[in-house]
Structure 1
Amino acid sequence: MDRFVVVSGCSGGGKSTLVAELARRGHATVTEPGRRIVARESASGGAALPWVDLAAFARAAIAMALADRAALMTGEDPAFGAGPVFFDRGLIDAAAALEHATGEKVLAPLAAVHRYNPLVFMTPPWPEIYAQDPERRHGFQDALAEYERLLAAYPAQGYEVVPVPRTSVTARADFILERLGL
């Protein structure tokens, strides 16, 4: 769906800050499934955490990404209106993670049915702003490896990857909106 726009890229590359800036400007946004899952699993003592069970985490992220899309498609959440919806990561990210963890071929079948805008905005590795936190325990080298997988996964599913420049968050948001013609 053309109005569903993914902001993906390197973990710790400023995706969530960028999506928050788009929300501040009045655009509809969807929070990253991974962070929501980590918060839920940590609060409940669950094991679907990327550092405990990556496959379970990726499956939960796929389910959450599908539920997010379904809620938007059916109009269950009237706050989203008819304009663009910016996703902090999406289904492709989760499916790529599951394929990496298990070798299970889920990416192409899911991507064929559940489409996003053909432009995917990728935040590049940015060591100067990368930081670990309770929800991001992996190191920068793991973030780089994930980024490389995503750089391959999105084009393989027919998406055009648009690198987001390393600049201020306001300039990054302007860049995305201008590239979308908004």
Structure 2
Amino acid sequence: MNTKRIVITGGPGTGKSSIINELIQRGFTCLEEISRDIILDAQKQGVDQLFLTNPLLFSERLLEGRKQQYTDALNETANPVFFDRGVPDIVAYMDFKGEDYPQHFTDACKDCVYDYVFILKPWQDIYTSDNERYEDFGQAMQIHEHLLNTYQKYDYKLLDVPFDTVENRTNYILKTLTIL
């Protein structure tokens, strides 16, 4: 079976996780965002914001986890498999921070190819920050631009998800997939 790998991406606070949770409730296979786990593990070790204090170490851990998710999806019998962010998100965030990264980050973007990428624009009405999300709305807008640029650099056609309720946004994604 040729499992379709579908990324749902966007800047912080755009509703990605809410859509992923809705897809899970509807019985779809979803690989959830792992950055919060990395952040919480670092906080347990006394590092408040690992991405801010050591962006490369944070991103290396994230890359390892996302590559594993990609490999796991190749062995999935469910179709499709949704990802809460993809490997190119890591490069986009590093570019946002103005950080250098090793060649294997770029190689991973080329090796881990997704079938479809849905992108959610920053939406001020739903944006909130919390202990793991340090960015303000202006930074979320900048991150969005980096995500657009990075995914386009790797030849993805980005599918915009309109502002709406979680249920309607999820329906939009599923309907779009039936016509692609």
Matched residue, 1:162: 159
Residue matched to 1:97 = 93
CA contact (8 A) 1:33 1:89 kept: no
Question: In structure 1, how many angstroms separate the alpha carbons of the residues matched to 2:3 and 2:133?
Answer: 30
**1:179 aligns to 2:180 (yes or no):** no
- Residue aligned with 2:178, SS: coil
> Counterparts of 2:101 and 2:53 in 1: how far apart (Å)?
19
User: Distance between the aligned counterparts of 1:114 and 1:47, measured in 2?
Assistant: 30
Where do 5+ consecutive residues of structure 1 fail to align? none
Deviations 1:12-53 (A, max 9, x none): 010000111011100001111211211222223357722322
Partner of 1:10: 11
Whole-angstrom distance in 2 between the partners of 1:17 and 1:39? 20
Matched, 1:34 2:31: no
1:119-158 pair list within 5 angstroms: 119-158=116-155
Report what 1:23 is aligned to: 24
Q: Distance in 2 between matches of 1:104 and 1:51?
A: 15
Whether contact under 8 Å (2:13, 2:126) holds in the other structure is yes
| Deviation readout 1:78-110 (Å, 9 max, x if unpaired) | xx5331111111111013223444233645422
**TM-score, normalised on structure 1?**
0.87
Matches within 5 A, 1:71-82: 71-73=72-74, 75=75, 80-82=76-78
On the 8 A contact 1:11/1:143 being kept in 2, the answer is yes
Distance 2:159 2:95 in 1: 23
**2:22/2:166 contact within 8 Å kept:** yes
Distance in 2 of aligned mates of 1:99 and 1:63: 18
- CA distance in 2 between counterparts of 1:51 and 1:148 reads 20
* Aligned mates of 2:41, 2:167 — CA distance in 1: 30
Amino acid in structure 2 at the alignment position of 1:110 = A
Deviation string, structure 1 residues 126-164 (Cα, Å, up to 9, x no partner): 011111101102211111111100011111101111111
TM-score normalised by length of structure 2:
0.88
User: Among the aligned pairs, what percent are the same residue?
Assistant: 28
Residue 68 (structure 1) aligns with: 69
Count of residues in Structure 1 that have an aligned counterpart in Structure 2: 176
Is the CA contact (8 Å cut-off) linking 1:8 and 1:88 kept in structure 2?
yes
Q: In the aligned structure 1, how far is the partner of 2:170 from the partner of 2:29?
A: 13
The separation in 1 between residues aligned to 2:60 and 2:120, in whole angstroms, is 24
Q: Give the deviation of 1:55 after TM superposition.
A: 2.0
Residue pair 2:91, 2:150 contacting (<8 A) in 1 also: no
Residue 7 of structure 1 aligns to a residue in which SS?
strand
